[in-house]
Structure 1
């Protein structure tokens, strides 16, 4: 019997249980570390061939000892599969659209194949923020993150139990421990000390999550050879650091194709009246947190130039709220002086209100074109921007739309297994944790019995891309890109626009005016998929939330373990 106490309360608002999956992926992998300060995969392309590669371009093969259902059927292999395998489909028997195919059992798993690994166990350490960290109120609580660390622990443990029971781990059990941050997310010394403790005192083979700003935690874990799932991205993190949001390079590829195919050479039809008839002139507004940000801005400019799109102005500003008015005044003035009609936005949600207010003060109403900036593409923060300006906002997001809890995949999986909802208020904490656990257990399956950091990397690199879906981004590691493998997971995006008259709940469940709408039923696209068709500010087919699963995303039905 898999029962857990229902601590959610009878009176919980259903609206508070809504929340987009990729929103929390951004929190986990780094609010700024990926989109603003790092996470580059070091390559130059936007797509690639089908063979995964490392920095040495050597093809990655399936690790030794791994036998999938499809391999066994194709080669008529005499192997046994766990009793959690649905032998009619060859996939794991759980009601989860993103489940993997079955993996065969092995007689021997190699024993202690790596630090933190024995014949019977794998030590995994999950990172938790300090309870008094101001980021909880500054960012997370704004979007409905109200769970205590005890609740987060219970959710982690719940999902680990689900996947331990059903996924192939080659005779080992995951031993989950927790490390609570000893400093704020801005305290790099504390983050580095915590990483040392995860290794030397806790003996981790892998860690889940980490501080959302800065690289000290990830740098230290990487130097120690510890697998890091959903940690803030760093350049040169192979073979151990796997982020979930797209890398800067992937975002550049999306934006280059999106802007060149849909927008360039055409009138700024979505700007204010005075600019609507002008041919688009592009500017770039971006947060700069490190010296490398100027280089990344230059790379962004060059990627656009490669597709014949020029930037008339770039404004790279520091995260300094005390100078918000000053930065906004000079930034907006320079954009106007350069004749910009369309601003490519890679800004942050804390200072962006000042820029939008200043634009209205200067009576300048450009198009605001989102370049997948974390949190800016959430309704909770977008309502804080000047609404006269944001009525002209559209572009790309890697966040999928909110999903009704009655069909939300992780919620339904949890409730199927335990017979009750997850023990947290709202879906944001739940969705923060679930992708980490899912990715780790999938990596274990593909890594095989000889578990090391390298075989884990190889496993994720040969793992097929997750299915293209509306409720969840497509995740794909290791697709060949230049000369280096990709360690950033999400590779598709969705087109959005701001409906300033629309009404509904934000990510924290608060009703209000102004919502993001997702074009074409929130259909997601790869970088190469963008066409010249423009459908923003067209309500036909644009959704604010997913209330019913697309037919091809409805999972199969299996008996609930909670009924045993």
Structure 2
């Protein structure tokens, strides 16, 4: 197994092209950081962060356990048999134990708090307020502007902030915040996402001048921004590129992410390959001669630094446990270089007899790689690993459709519903009487705010870094259904390492070039990802053995036109004072 050599370096203009089509969605993901990350780290310094060594908090094994005696959830009260002794207030539906907000995922009621919340329990915290920075690219940044134009998202930063503030105002009136209100501080970047110097300066400014409790968002191309925050012991969420678990451990507990990390995704992919593909013929290949041959696997990944080599080594080792030896491992650096070397890669895979290509690279490369494969008359199976946005319909429509018609595999994203049925859009219309200002981004903003208040309710009045991490590590499982991924943090017996990343499960998908509908940005078109068995999700170790039920339209869903059974909303009347941006 000989990796190919790196494909050049490239400067700022090349980086602009490389990341232009993905950065807009990436920065949107940054704003949702608290809720629900992809490709390996960027090769930045891997040294430990400054400050005292942090030991992960112990978990008592009770997922409903609260961090503070003043914190009593509905489930806690029911378990103790005291739910009828508590005045839950008008905001709580005492038939279900959920807040009277019409979401598809219940938000639990908490006992109303009275008393002293401890005041200034940490930086950015007072008795009345909780200071949170929302870090966002400068709208004049050519990288950001080009990216937004490329995906057709015209939501402005002001509209995004206004939409987030509407949701904050809603939750301030429903959720238990122990006497504190969130003070959201929008903070645009001072320079390009490609500029590590300005990223470091921004982080230093946030630490020394704003002094927040929490930062949401960051530079998701470089680790520099997150490194500075962690060295200064400021908690940040969705503020760095996805990296191996060891990277987060070294910076614990100050850097959190909300998606499955690259190591976790590859672990789920190796299980999928071992249980469902190995030893069987490549029946879904485009080349009929492959369809009678036992699968021969190759692996393509992007080389982003030492962390990506660590990820590869772990993946190769996991595959070896079930007898899979990769016939080829292809690495690339700059995806734009694939315009010239893509043919060589396709020829190399073809000459090695690879029937099944496991794709672990970025989202920019597939249009070039798949076009090159078609030019070389090479039509293998393509195995999806859930890397950055490769498993989104919006981007997959740009891949060579002759090739991608044979793509299937693992996605950590959940099955989809139309925009107007997402919680963010529906709840804003319910609460404010109008659609959200940032209508194209709202499906991502609302879960962030919702998750923030879920965490605040769980942590209680004593609010600091330690209690937040302890609260996350002991919080009830979020999601785990068709429309919402299973999200936990800490040591739950799911992953070998302490988990500082969110999504734990995945579903099986395949590409249907003939299906039509809207993509994730609301654009109508042809080509859709299909979710096997309606989007049924599996935790690590739970993937079934046997032949994948892919390319079977009878058992798959492209998009739910109505909320699935069991996830329907309960109708409620809005309470309190609606203060909306309009």
TM (norm. structure 1) is: 0.87
* 1:379/1:481 CA distance change after superposition, 3 Å: closer
Structure 1 residue 461 displacement after superposition: 1.0
For the residue of structure 1 that corresponds to 2:553, the secondary structure is coil
Contact 2:39-2:362 at 8 Å conserved across structures: no
Query: Is residue 496 from structure 1 mapped to residue 522 from structure 2 by the alignment?
Result: no
Q: Which moved more, 1:77-86 or 1:103-112?
A: 77-86
Residue 174 of structure 1: aligned partner = 182
For the residue of structure 2 that corresponds to 1:178, the secondary structure is strand
Structure 1 residue 24 displacement after superposition: 5.5
Contact 2:57-2:469 at 8 Å conserved across structures: no
Residue 58 of structure 2: aligned partner = 58
Structure 1 residue 458 displacement after superposition: 0.7
Aligned residues: 526
Runs of 4+ in 1 over 6 A off after TM superposition: none
Residue 264 of structure 2: aligned partner = 250
Report Cα offsets for 1:441-489 as digits up to 9, x if no partner: 2111111111011100111111111132222222221224566421111
For the residue of structure 2 that corresponds to 1:36, the secondary structure is coil
Contact 2:128-2:181 at 8 Å conserved across structures: yes
Report Cα offsets for 1:262-303 as digits up to 9, x if no partner: 111000000021211110011111112222211211111112
Contact 2:38-2:388 at 8 Å conserved across structures: no
Report Cα offsets for 1:52-88 as digits up to 9, x if no partner: xx95683356312322222223335565545422222
* 1:64/1:262 CA distance change after superposition, 3 Å: same
Residue 17 of structure 1: aligned partner = none
Contact 1:287-1:316 at 8 Å conserved across structures: yes
Structure 1 residue 527 displacement after superposition: 2.5
Query: Is residue 539 from structure 1 mapped to residue 539 from structure 2 by the alignment?
Result: no
- Tell me how far apart the structure 2 counterparts of residues 183 and 383 of structure 1 sit (CA, whole Å): 32
For the residue of structure 2 that corresponds to 1:213, the secondary structure is coil
Report Cα offsets for 1:367-388 as digits up to 9, x if no partner: 0100001121222222222221
Residues 100-499 of structure 1 mapped to structure 2, 5 A cutoff: 100-104=107-111, 105-136=113-144, 139-232=147-240, 233=242, 235=247, 236=249, 237-271=251-285, 272-321=287-336, 323-426=337-440, 429-478=441-490, 479-480=492-493, 484-499=497-512
Contact 1:154-1:423 at 8 Å conserved across structures: yes
- Tell me how far apart the structure 1 counterparts of residues 276 and 426 of structure 2 sit (CA, whole Å): 38
For the residue of structure 1 that corresponds to 2:510, the secondary structure is strand
Q: CA RMSD in A?
A: 2.6
Query: Is residue 517 from structure 1 mapped to residue 530 from structure 2 by the alignment?
Result: yes
Query: Is residue 34 from structure 1 mapped to residue 38 from structure 2 by the alignment?
Result: yes
Structure 1 residue 137 displacement after superposition: 5.4
- Tell me how far apart the structure 1 counterparts of residues 96 and 515 of structure 2 sit (CA, whole Å): 42
Contact 2:486-2:504 at 8 Å conserved across structures: yes
Structure 1 residue 213 displacement after superposition: 1.3
Structure 1 residue 139 displacement after superposition: 4.6
Structure 1 residue 425 displacement after superposition: 4.1
- Tell me how far apart the structure 2 counterparts of residues 407 and 23 of structure 1 sit (CA, whole Å): 23
For the residue of structure 1 that corresponds to 2:447, the secondary structure is helix
Report Cα offsets for 1:16-73 as digits up to 9, x if no partner: xxxxx9995488669xx6323279xx9xxxxxxxxxxx95683356312322222223
For the residue of structure 1 that corresponds to 2:177, the secondary structure is coil
Pick from 63, 73, 84 the counterpart of residue 91 of structure 2: 84
- Tell me how far apart the structure 2 counterparts of residues 23 and 219 of structure 1 sit (CA, whole Å): 18
- Tell me how far apart the structure 1 counterparts of residues 379 and 100 of structure 2 sit (CA, whole Å): 53
TM (norm. structure 2) is: 0.84
Query: Is residue 99 from structure 1 mapped to residue 113 from structure 2 by the alignment?
Result: no
Q: Which moved more, 1:218-227 or 1:502-511?
A: 502-511
Q: Which has the higher contact order (CA 8 A, sep 6+)?
A: 1
* 1:229/1:23 CA distance change after superposition, 3 Å: closer
Contact 1:229-1:440 at 8 Å conserved across structures: no
Q: Which moved more, 1:252-261 or 1:301-310?
A: 301-310
